Amino acid sequence: MSELSKLREQICTLAKSIFDRGLTGGASGNISVRLDDGGILVTPTGSSMGQLDPARLTQLDHTGRIVSGDAPTKEIPLHSAFYETRSETGAVVHLHSTHSVALSMLPDTDPENAIPPLTAYSIMRLGKVKLLPFFVPGDPAMGQAIRGLAGKRSAVLLANHGPVVAGKDLEAAIYATEELEETAKLALLTHGRNPIGLSDAQIVQVVKKYGIDYTS
């Protein structure tokens, strides 16, 4: 089996895992992986994460032209923006996960740090998460908003829509997305109850130990 074929299988396997655990439903969500030639392998438009066909995943070349597969997700601008602004990005995951979306709608969610520092792992895997305003799904302006961050964030939360997370490879992006959703769930469970999150000193300890950029 070629490396490309293995990658196709991996996308479908991890996508089904996400779907089966209720992190995305229906035909929502999309995943992409950057290829060695600068192209992108991405889930097709209107496809269910629980029923992806490896052979029908969309392969785009470095110019965005379709090489094979079905028509790509309409959220390609989101994915492309991360690849263009963060050279270390190897994969991007976008979900409509329930708790993350709910957190994006609360009026007291910090737009500069939408996922509160409740655990060390959210800091380690996500850094600070920027809350972006609402955009109509598929609007290229979403990609422009991510480009406006100049590569300083690996994850954003789209208001009333869901998270978009970049990682060095597919597994890293998946794990970080799951961490975002679980921390959003914790934030909602403790909302209004004055939870004791990590102190500034504890955040500094995590940041120093794992070399995280938690300033921008």
Residue 110: phi and psi, rounded to 5, are: -70, 115
pLDDT score at 6:
96
CATH numbers and ranges of domains, the chain? 3-210 (3.40.225.10)
Type of residue found at 62: H
Per-residue pLDDT at 213 exceeds 90: no
- Out of 9, 88, 121, 182, pick the active-site residue: 121
Return d(Cα 197, Cα 209) in angstroms, integer: 18
pLDDT score at 216:
75
- Out of 3, 9, 75, 214, pick the active-site residue: 75
Per-residue pLDDT at 43 exceeds 90: yes
The yes-or-no answer on residue 210 being catalytic is: no
CA angle, residues 86, 169, 50, in degrees to nearest 5: 120
Q: Are strands 130-132 and 155-158 parallel, antiparallel or unpaired?
A: parallel
Residue 164: phi and psi, rounded to 5, are: -130, 125
The pTM is what?
0.96
Per-residue pLDDT at 1 exceeds 90: no
pLDDT digits (tens, 9 = 90+) for 146-182: 999 999 999 999 999 999 999 999 999 999 999 999 9
pLDDT digits (tens, 9 = 90+) for 4-38: 999 999 999 999 999 999 999 999 999 999 999 99
